[in-house]
Structure formats: C-alpha cells, structure tokens
C-alpha cells in the first residue's frame, strides 16, 4: 500500500485560512468516509483533529474542518494561530482492510 500524498510544507500568516491536502486513490480516500487528520508537535504523540472526513472530536477548535472530494481529502484551518504550527498527518482506511497514512505536512505560521 502506498502512502497518501501530502505537500511537504505549507505556510500562512496569523489570521489567515489555509488548506492542507491529502491525495489517495479510489481504493482508500476516494472509496470510504474513513479519513482522519492528526496534529503532531515535535517529540509528542499525534492528536486526533478530524475523523470520518469531517467530524471534530470534542475539545478540538471549530477552526479546524475537514472535507473530501473524489480521491482528495482536505483539512482547513481558519484564523491561523501561532500554536497551529505543527506537523499534520492524514489517514485513510483501505480496500485491503488496513490503514494508510500520508507523509505529513509541516505547517509554518509566519
């Protein structure tokens, strides 16, 4: 199974909205509603931010939202803040009954 494709880096200014992409195939992202997003700070465990494409766990800011179109899922962060600077990973269920992650995107807040 190949890793999902994420841009290596994205940057934005405080207050701005940015969108991170996660591209797979019809055998993973495009075929299921089971896409999730994780935020990871250096040296820390990942934290769930979005699950089932667009659902937000309790405690996660409503500045984070998720969507999907075809084989590409997206995470949008609105009102960018300094502490949003982190690595972000997407994950998808696959037709093999396994899970696959993206390579991660490093978000820099300018």
Partner 1 sequence: QVQLQESGPGLVKPSQTLSVTCTVSGGSISSGNYHWTWIRQPAGKGLQWIGRIHSNGDTKYNPSLKSRVTISMDTSKNQFSLKLTSVIAADTAVYYCAREGSGSLFDPWGQGTLVTVSS
Q: Which positions lie near partner 1, rule CB under 8 A?
A: 1, 3, 32-36, 38, 44-48, 51-53, 55, 57, 89, 91-93, 96-104
CB of 36 to partner 1, least distance (A): 4
Taking the least distance from each CB to partner 1, the nearer of 39 and 84 is 39
In sign, the C-alpha dihedral spanning 59, 77, 32, 69 is positive
Taking the least distance from each CB to partner 1, the nearer of 13 and 59 is 59
Q: How far apart are CA 40 and CA 15, in angstroms?
A: 21
Question: Which of 57, 79, 55, 59 minimizes the C-alpha distance to 67?
Answer: 55
Taking the least distance from each CB to partner 1, the nearer of 84 and 92 is 92
């Amino acid at each position: 199974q190949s890793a999902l494709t994420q841009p290596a880096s994205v940057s934005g200014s405080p207050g701005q909205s940015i969108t991170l992409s996660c591209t797979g195939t019809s055998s993973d992202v495009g075929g299921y509603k089971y896409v999730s997003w994780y935020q990871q700070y250096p040296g820390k465990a990942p934290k769930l931010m979005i699950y089932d494409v667009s659902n937000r766990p309790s405690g996660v800011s409503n500045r984070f939202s998720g969507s999907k179109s075809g084989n590409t899922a997206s995470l949008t962060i609105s009102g960018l803040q300094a502490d949003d600077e982190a690595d972000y990973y997407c994950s998808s269920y696959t037709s093999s009954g396994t899970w696959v992650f993206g390579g991660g995107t490093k978000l820099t807040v300018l």
